[in-house]
Amino acid sequence: MSNNSQSMSFNAGQAKGQTQEKASNLMDKASNAAQSAKDSMQETGQQIKEKAQGASATIKEKTGMNT
């Protein structure tokens, strides 16, 4: 293989590696964003649940149904 051909092959390999690394980084970022959204939704759901339970307890107290 000529020196020029080797150089082109080396450069192509480097470009492929860089592309794979960028794709991997993008996938990591997407995964992290999805996990963050999931965590946020779970926290919001828990807050709504707690508020609903509090409202239910208040209604039971006001109507005398908690005895």
Residue 12 · residue 4 · CB < 8 Å: no
Q: Give the pLDDT of residue 64.
A: 86
> Using one digit for the tens of pLDDT, what is the confidence trace for 23-47?
999 999 999 999 999 999 999 999 9
**Distance between CA atoms of residues 29 and 11, nearest Å:** 27
* 1 pLDDT above the threshold of 70: no
Domain count along the chain: 1
What is the extent of the structural domain holding 11?
1-66
Q: Give the pLDDT of residue 13.
A: 92
Angle at 6 between CA 4 and CA 12, to 5 degrees: 105
Phi, psi of 25 (to 5 degrees): -65, -40
Give the pLDDT band (50/70/90) at residue 8: very high
Q: What percent of the chain has pLDDT over 90?
A: 84
Residue 30 · residue 21 · CB < 8 Å: no
